[in-house]
Structure 1
Amino acid sequence: MKSLLHRALLLLVAFGSTSLLSLARGADQPNFVFLISEDNSMHYMKMFDPHGAATPNIEALAANGLLFENAFSNAPVCSVARTTLITSCYGPRIGTQFHRRSQPAPMPEGLRMWPAYLRDAGYYTTNNSKKDYNAIEGPGVWDASSGKANWRGRKPGQPFFHKQSFGTTHESRLHFSRQSMEENPTTTDPAIVFVAPYHPDTPTFRYTNAKYRDLMQQVDAEIGKVVDRLEADGLLEETFIFYFGDHGGVLPRGKGYAYDSGLHIPLVVRIPAKYQHLVDATRGSRSEGFVSFIDFGPTLLHLAAVDVPQGVDGKPFLGPGISAAELASRDEAFGYADRFDEKWDLVRTLRKGRYEYVRSFQPFNFDGLHNNYRYKSLAFQEWRDLFAAGELNAVQAQFFQPRSVEALYDLKSDPHETINLAGDPRYADVLMELRTQLGQRMRQMPDLSLFPESVLIDQAMDNPVAFGQWQQERIAAAMDVADLSLQPFLDAAPAIAKTLAAEDELLRYWGCIVCSCHGKQAASMADVLRRLAVGDASRLVRVRAAESLSLIAGEDPRPVIMQALRSTTSPLEAAEILNTVVMLQDGPTAVDFEITAASLASLKLTASDDAALRRLEYLDPSFQPIAKKKQPQGKAKKRP
């Protein structure tokens, strides 16, 4: 026996092979399957929420495993969420936080997408078939990736990891017409379906809710078929099955928005009988421990006895040495929402226990700001029309109004996050704790989104992580400026004035944004903002100053903004400016810019300049798309 072990060790030394290391650990390693339904939060499944649909196949997985009450996507939209999932790294730290990417980011130095480590350890890795990554995949991640990929192509006895996505619940399935509503009744009864309190209770919203619950039942059947194939192949009791959603649901204020409805995903892990000893959990139980997408890769590596690489942000939540009690003690999840197609934003969240803290760095970019693909949904269209007609209550209208700079929600008493407790003195200690923790996280990362995206594309994308480390002090200084929006204006005014005169254009940029956050209270800053709008060396500072003057003093921003559009040579910077145009035109200021494609003719836009093209489609009804997009765009009417 000793001689056999000695020879195995000599082989390991001689060949340095991870696959041999895998054999030394024992070829008896568990298999893993990810089954991912697109665009659904946990709110649409009865096993998580009493208002959801019955999903018997997924319920059967839970009966033989562990249901997670508090699982979260770190981002509320697919490419950012899926990149976080496959890298185990926070998007704002590694430059993958924008949906969709303007330019793919390289993986952090020394890291690969984590299925590559399973593959090195002898696993057969397959993807069927959605990727949608904002990072460069690199070699060695998948043995097969296609619409036909599965575990059956592996060598006899070879362990495998298989990832499969299901588009049945994708947002596009809710892009139906009025005629379709009338001609295609739902199986779920719209009369008894639940309508969230932030939505108007109309036949359109009832039908949309019912339709989505029908789709949940369809995807449940599809998932059941994959499980049946595993069982038919004799693999079910050798395979961990993870079922989860890739981010929040697609009814308005779900997908793309950093609320619980956009981040809280369903997660069930079926534990195979053969490997029950690896998990400290009773089959059919529930865990209240918090897990998020950064943790999924480390969990699989740990269960497979593969070392978790240094440099990732997550940690395992199942496997040897992880007790049920320790898992249950985890109570935090970090979330982020940045650009969502052509709609720019900057929101960070920290969920801790029953509370969620939401920090909006540009709260004037209200949630309902136009986004072409979202507004193909009749529910989105009707919601906005009812707001314009003044037919919504205060909770329902909030989606189309500027947000608070910070919000605190008690998810236990207010699961739909309609009551902001940030101004309630009874919650002052909780607010300060979560505000402080969130700020520390962003500074320590550091969070690259303190720079405009166009600046990151120009300066950071060769190595975003190194750029962040190099610029860490500057990012922290910008955070300090942004935090001036949290103070009463009179207290913050001296520091804001100093910032607007700063040598660093990034600080001046954030000083203008802070003025906009304070609104009309910041009117005393109008003179210095006028000087910046006319004469600042930075085009984006000039735009932000003009934007702020419009919001705080009602001044006409068009001369400055139109000159910026005519002079920029960056399609991405133009799209950032057009975001301001749409916000000022459709928001309370109602400034009519009369933008046409000719306004950007000098840019010579190509089909890859997606964000700018989408804005032109909205602002100029006569504009003809340059080429068919990956996501088909419908014509949107110009808003008054």
Structure 2
Amino acid sequence: MKKTAAFITCLFIILNLLSCNSQHEELITPPNIVWITSEDNSKHYMKLFDEHGVNTPNIERLASGGLTFNNAFSNAPVCSVARSTIISGCYAPATGSQFHRRMEQVPLPEGLEMFPAYLKAGGYYTSNNNKEDYNFIKSDSVWDDSSKKATWKNRQANQPFFHVQNIANTHEGSLHFRKRKSTVTDPDSVFVFPNHPQTDLFKYTNARYRDHIIKLDTLVGNVIHQLEKDGLLENTFVFYFGDHGGVLPGSKGYLYETGLHVPLVVYVPEKYKHLVPAERGTRIDGFINFIDLAPTVLHLAGADIPEQIDGTPFLGKDIKLSEINSRDEAFAYADRFDEKYDLVRSLRKGKYKYIRSYQPFNYDGLYNEYRYRQPGYRQWKDGFEADTLNDIQAAFFKTRPTELLFDIENDPYETTNLADNPEYQKVLLSLRSRLKEWIINLPDLSFYPEFHLKGVAFDNPAGFGTQHKNNISSYVEIADLSLKDFSTVGSTLEKALHSSDPWQRYWALISCSIFGKEALPLKPAIATIMQNDSLPINKVRAAEFMGITKTEDPSAVMTQALYNCPDPVEALLILNSIALMHDAPYNFKFKINKDLINPAVVKDQEVNRRLKYLL
């Protein structure tokens, strides 16, 4: 950081000495950088990126004077996790920031700051208007101002600035409507995703959301016009991007393209075109991940990039177009969203998309209170229960395959799973291996339950991961047994069920639940765990197996574990299993007495969302 500060200070000194020489001034003045971020919208609603989108003339203007990135991806499909990835430049599952909403904030990896701190230390004015939503502990060194009134106008004369302008009108909450109103966009003109019911409500919801995109474009235009009015546009890189995908049902919170593939445009001032690898007005196909945003801004500003950052810059001095276009991978992760737990990882490589579900019995449509405030979610679920959906539409409410493989070019809405197609086995095995390599190398902390991480790892999550990398690798191996024939791995699973490591037992139980009735030869060992394990969550996972196979009623074991639980985070995971067993296709009956639950557990907001649904 000291090196960065010295660098920027030298620039200012030289600038003052050469103030009479405009040619030199253009070469040495650090650029201003503005981010305009919109909430919850994938690339599918803008004509600039998708034939089914609406015109966005202000964003298109930025594109004509800059670069359009056809393949930009959030690494997570939900706000706090995506924004934690952006502000750190680090993959969230390696830093303990992968859960939405956080139960507590975690520290950044040792020696790392949120990246605007490096700009601020180097002489930049840093401002954020105004959403943060980080899962990290924030220091005072990050922003000069982060508030609803934050603006670049409060900087010192001639001071370069980094400003973030957040636009919220496209947020998921905008579709939590009670009544319909007329829309600018004709509902009969819109495209409804093939996995959605083709109903008037979904047409209307699509039209209403496109109206929000039109409004968003106007708000983007307001920022551009203010920069022009202040005489700053030609000194300023302007990034526009969505903070993750969304927001029609089945997008935000899920690792499908509609949850991850975001619009990204960067306006390039003429005087700084030497800092970008292509002519203004160019569209670029290379893959950009959110982990790349932080190092890109630092590189544009001439700052050093901390070694802990996972991303790679895609703009700035000496960045080559050929190198950017060689990038063809996007990693993503989905864990807890409010009260609903899941554990899914994905890898997009070129035109192929691989999704690995580590607990596929937690089907996509498992109830989540915030999502189901949207009328479209409720109608979709009603259609499934009434058996009026086709197979593609109904898949959202059924157990997922453990592996999904899609050809995105030919199947952009991920409706045809190629994982069992013999013609694609080479692709499947390659992507499976690559994703596993990524998970182990992080290492991915989610192979421990969240409540355990909170208890033993959240003072230094990255350090904990490094210390326990071999343990995590062993859990991944046990989880991957579910990808093989049970006849070849049954004895290995039985050994894991008797392991002295409780988390090996945990993952063996989950693999058994994925196998379902195939794993019934291991029922005696699982029954012993259900009655006697030292960890209540393992008793719950064993009972979950009994429920999935419909060999025993899991309700008594799960309910008692809930009553005995003092920790709201652990209780939330227990309640997730209860909700799964409560709903179709299992339909077990639970009689939960709220008065018997620990008061500290009952106070938790997410716990109450789940209890409200179950009681």
2: CA distance, partners of 1:225 / 1:192? 28
Pair 1:284 & 2:281 matched: yes
How far residue 24 of structure 1 moved from its aligned partner, in angstroms, is 5.9
CA 1:22–1:339 in 2, change beyond 3 Å: closer, same or farther? farther
Pair 1:612 & 2:607 matched: yes
Query: Quick one: which amino acid aligns to residue 119 of structure 1?
Result: K
For residue 229 of structure 1, the aligned residue among 223, 226, 242 is 226
Pair 1:323 & 2:312 matched: no
Query: Quick one: which amino acid aligns to residue 519 of structure 2?
Result: A
2: CA distance, partners of 1:234 / 1:113? 29
Query: Quick one: which amino acid aligns to residue 20 of structure 1?
Result: T
Gapped regions of structure 2 (runs ≥ 5)? 16-27
1: CA distance, partners of 2:237 / 2:382? 47
For residue 547 of structure 2, the aligned residue among 547, 550, 565 is 550
1: CA distance, partners of 2:94 / 2:227? 38
Please list the CA deviations of residues 429-459 of structure 1 after superposition, one character each: whole Å capped at 9, or x if unmatched: 1111110011011111100000000000000
2: CA distance, partners of 1:533 / 1:503? 16
Query: Quick one: which amino acid aligns to residue 603 of structure 1?
Result: P
**Does structure 2 retain, via aligned residues, the 8 Å contact 1:22–1:122?**
no
How far residue 321 of structure 1 moved from its aligned partner, in angstroms, is 1.1
Please list the CA deviations of residues 603-638 of structure 1 after superposition, one character each: whole Å capped at 9, or x if unmatched: 33465x222121112112xxxxxxxxxxxxxxxxxx
Please list the CA deviations of residues 358-410 of structure 1 after superposition, one character each: whole Å capped at 9, or x if unmatched: 00000000000100010011000000000000010000000000001111110
How far residue 17 of structure 1 moved from its aligned partner, in angstroms, is 4.4
Query: Quick one: which amino acid aligns to residue 614 of structure 2?
Result: L
1: CA distance, partners of 2:224 / 2:5? 37
How far residue 161 of structure 1 moved from its aligned partner, in angstroms, is 0.4
CA 1:619–1:606 in 2, change beyond 3 Å: closer, same or farther? closer
Pair 1:584 & 2:581 matched: yes
2: CA distance, partners of 1:310 / 1:24? 28
SS of corresponding position for 2:169: helix
2: CA distance, partners of 1:105 / 1:19? 31
For residue 599 of structure 2, the aligned residue among 573, 584, 603 is 603
1: CA distance, partners of 2:526 / 2:532? 10
Pair 1:496 & 2:493 matched: yes
Number of the residue aligned with 2:237: 240
Query: Quick one: which amino acid aligns to residue 467 of structure 1?
Result: F
How far residue 18 of structure 1 moved from its aligned partner, in angstroms, is 5.7
How far residue 185 of structure 1 moved from its aligned partner, in angstroms, is 1.3
In the TM superposition, 1:388-427 aligns within 5 A as 388-427=385-424
Please list the CA deviations of residues 274-293 of structure 1 after superposition, one character each: whole Å capped at 9, or x if unmatched: 10111111111100000111
2: CA distance, partners of 1:242 / 1:494? 54
TM-score scaled by length of structure 2: 0.96
Number of the residue aligned with 1:82: 83
2: CA distance, partners of 1:400 / 1:510? 24
CA 1:88–1:16 in 2, change beyond 3 Å: closer, same or farther? closer
Query: Quick one: which amino acid aligns to residue 610 of structure 1?
Result: Q
Number of the residue aligned with 1:344: 341
2: CA distance, partners of 1:499 / 1:334? 29
How far residue 554 of structure 1 moved from its aligned partner, in angstroms, is 3.4
2: CA distance, partners of 1:415 / 1:92? 27
SS of corresponding position for 1:191: helix
SS of corresponding position for 1:252: coil
1: CA distance, partners of 2:58 / 2:594? 50
SS of corresponding position for 2:588: coil
Query: Quick one: which amino acid aligns to residue 535 of structure 2?
Result: S
Please list the CA deviations of residues 494-521 of structure 1 after superposition, one character each: whole Å capped at 9, or x if unmatched: 1111111111000000000001111222
CA 1:459–1:21 in 2, change beyond 3 Å: closer, same or farther? farther
TM-score scaled by length of structure 1: 0.92
**Does structure 2 retain, via aligned residues, the 8 Å contact 1:521–1:552?**
no
Number of the residue aligned with 1:7: none
**Does structure 1 retain, via aligned residues, the 8 Å contact 2:566–2:601?**
no
SS of corresponding position for 2:126: strand
In the TM superposition, 1:161-310 aligns within 5 A as 161-177=162-178, 180-181=179-180, 184-310=181-307
**Does structure 2 retain, via aligned residues, the 8 Å contact 1:39–1:245?**
yes
SS of corresponding position for 1:76: coil
Pair 1:114 & 2:103 matched: no
For residue 20 of structure 1, the aligned residue among 3, 9, 31 is 9
SS of corresponding position for 2:84: helix
1: CA distance, partners of 2:469 / 2:283? 40
SS of corresponding position for 2:271: helix
2: CA distance, partners of 1:558 / 1:257? 29
**Does structure 2 retain, via aligned residues, the 8 Å contact 1:596–1:619?**
no
Give 4+ residue runs of structure 1 displaced > 2 Å after superposition.
15-27, 594-599, 602-607
CA 1:515–1:21 in 2, change beyond 3 Å: closer, same or farther? farther
Number of the residue aligned with 2:369: 372
**Does structure 1 retain, via aligned residues, the 8 Å contact 2:567–2:601?**
no
How far residue 171 of structure 1 moved from its aligned partner, in angstroms, is 0.5
**Does structure 1 retain, via aligned residues, the 8 Å contact 2:255–2:332?**
yes
For residue 381 of structure 1, the aligned residue among 368, 378, 382 is 378
Gapped regions of structure 1 (runs ≥ 5)? 1-11, 621-640
More moved, 273-282 vs 212-221: 273-282
2: CA distance, partners of 1:232 / 1:365? 52
**Does structure 1 retain, via aligned residues, the 8 Å contact 2:567–2:600?**
no
How far residue 598 of structure 1 moved from its aligned partner, in angstroms, is 2.3
In the TM superposition, 1:566-581 aligns within 5 A as 566-581=563-578
1: CA distance, partners of 2:602 / 2:548? 33
SS of corresponding position for 1:318: coil
Alpha-carbon RMSD across the aligned residues, in angstroms, is 1.4
CA 1:527–1:604 in 2, change beyond 3 Å: closer, same or farther? same
Number of the residue aligned with 2:590: 593
How far residue 139 of structure 1 moved from its aligned partner, in angstroms, is 2.1
Number of the residue aligned with 1:353: 350
Pair 1:506 & 2:503 matched: yes
* Identical aligned residues as a percent: 50
2: CA distance, partners of 1:83 / 1:427? 35
Number of the residue aligned with 2:63: 62
Pair 1:465 & 2:466 matched: no
